[in-house]
Each structure stands twice: as structure tokens, then as C-alpha cells.
Amino acid sequence: MDIEAINSLPYEDFVSIFGNVVERCPIIAAAVWSGRPFPSGAAIEAAINAFIEALPESGKEGILRCHPDLAGKDLQSGTLTPESREEQGAAGLDRMGAAEVSRMTRLNAEYKARFGFPFVVCARMNDRTSIVEQLRERLGNTQAQERARGVEEVKEICRLRLQSLVHSDQKHKL
């Protein structure tokens, strides 16, 4: 979709299309809609990032809590959002054996117990081996480090999701 078409979308359509660029947070798309017209896809991304950065720490943690566990029950039961299903599949998380799933379940539980929100990493930029390695490594971080890192991962996920939706006039994505 080009920027002209995006800028002409009614509120409901904009929220419907962009409501999951930040996982299960359509309120973010609703909030940035009023910033139209956007000069580019990058401007939409900047508006979303500014909204996220303006949130109090509890709001940032709330965004992290909207993310599913990687290779978790939502993947196993088929209840992931289409975007998450595609991203986890691209990382190979849907092809893990029972022992790998068990290890991920244990690490995810340990992470959530330590930080109070799910482990968030841009699955599209990783494979299942690197995801497990990062999960183990990041368990050693502080709460503040993990919140900040998780928010940066959310922004990367958002950037890639926007790329798949917004095409610039030069026929390039974001």
C-alpha cells in the first residue's frame, strides 16, 4: 500500500490494517492515526516509536506482555496472530522437537518469573538456535536492561511488519 492510500484510510480501516504492527496493541495504531498525513512509511514508524518511548515504564512492560511466548502454547494451539505465526515459522520455532519445546518452555517460564513479561526477540532476524542462546544470555540482565532490550526488539518487529504493509513511491519498502 502506498502512502497516499494509507493517508486516505478512515480510522477504522487504519486501525484494522496497522493494529498489529505492535503485537496485540491496536491502541497504538489508533493513537498515531491522528498524525496523518504521513509523508512516508518511515514517518509512521517514527510516530509509533515516539508513542512507545513516551509511555511510562509500566506501559512499556504492558506492550511486552502482549507478546506470546516463543514456541509456546499459542504456537502449539494455533492461536498466534498471523504475523507471529509467520515470524515464528520463519525462525523454525514451529519445527522444534519435543526436547527443544520443553527447553524453550522451561526458559520462557524462568524468564517470565524473573522479569514479569515474556521474552521478546525479533524472530524474523534470528533462527531457533540464536533465539535460545539469546534467551539464556538475557536471563542475566537486570529488569531495566531487559525492558529496554525488549522494547527495542518490539520496534524492530514493528519496522519489519510495517515494511510488509507500506511501499514508498520509489517501489522500495520503508
Number of Cα atoms under 13 Å in the Cβ half of residue 169: 4
Q: Is 172 part of the annotated catalytic residue set? A: no
What's the rounded Cα separation, in Å, for the pair 129 and 29? 33
What's the rounded Cα separation, in Å, for the pair 33 and 135? 34
What's the rounded Cα separation, in Å, for the pair 122 and 40? 23
Burial class of residue 140 in the structure, from the number of CB atoms within 10 Å of its CB (0-12 exposed, 13-18 middle, 19+ buried): exposed
What's the rounded Cα separation, in Å, for the pair 28 and 167? 20
Residue tagged active-site, from 18, 20, 67, 88: 67
**Considering only CA atoms, which of 7, 26, 47, 10 is closest in space to residue 159?**
47
DSSP state of 92: T
Q: Which residues are catalytic?
A: 67
